[in-house]
Amino acid sequence: MITLALFHNQEGAENAINELSRNGFALKDIQVVMKNKEADAHDGEDQLGKLINLGLSQEEALIYEIEIKAGAILLGVPFYSASAVTIQDILERHKASQIRLINRNSQ
């Protein structure tokens, strides 16, 4: 299972990542998807594939991709049921939007 959240500024994303780390979430497990300033068409396809691999449908991935291309930063934080509330609280505290819990096994 994974929690996805969008940030519209780098500071909020970095602060959320730091707080998640302080609360025991491994940095290596936190996935970050953001606009590549030197992206070409192939990179865009790779990005869409990464979003689908996170557990999004193609339609949902396209919506997130539009946000990312506009400069948003997407965080993906794996969780177990006991940690979902902690993650959501941290993300909300740092002004995340479109917070979504996804059970990748049921997609």
pLDDT mean across residues, the chain: 86
What does pTM read for this prediction?
Answer: 0.83
Residue 42, pLDDT score? 44
* Secondary structure element (H or E) that encloses residue 6, with its range: strand 2-7
Residues 67-74 have a mean pLDDT of 93
Residue 41, pLDDT score? 46
- Please tell me the distance from the alpha carbon of residue 63 to that of residue 21, in angstroms, as a whole number: 28
- Between CA 6 and CA 25, with CA 103 as vertex, the angle to 5 degrees is 60
| CA dihedral angle for residue 13, residue 33, residue 79, residue 16, rounded to 10 degrees | -10
Which of the pair, 7 or 34, is modelled with greater confidence?
7
The total of other beta-carbon atoms located within 10 Å of residue 20's CB is 23
- Is 74's pLDDT higher than 60? yes
- Is 107's pLDDT higher than 50? no
Contact predicate 35/69, CB 8 Å: yes
- Please tell me the distance from the alpha carbon of residue 62 to that of residue 98, in angstroms, as a whole number: 14
Residue 37, pLDDT score? 59
Query: pLDDT digit string (tens) for 26-64?
Result: 999 999 988 875 544 445 567 788 888 888 889 999 999
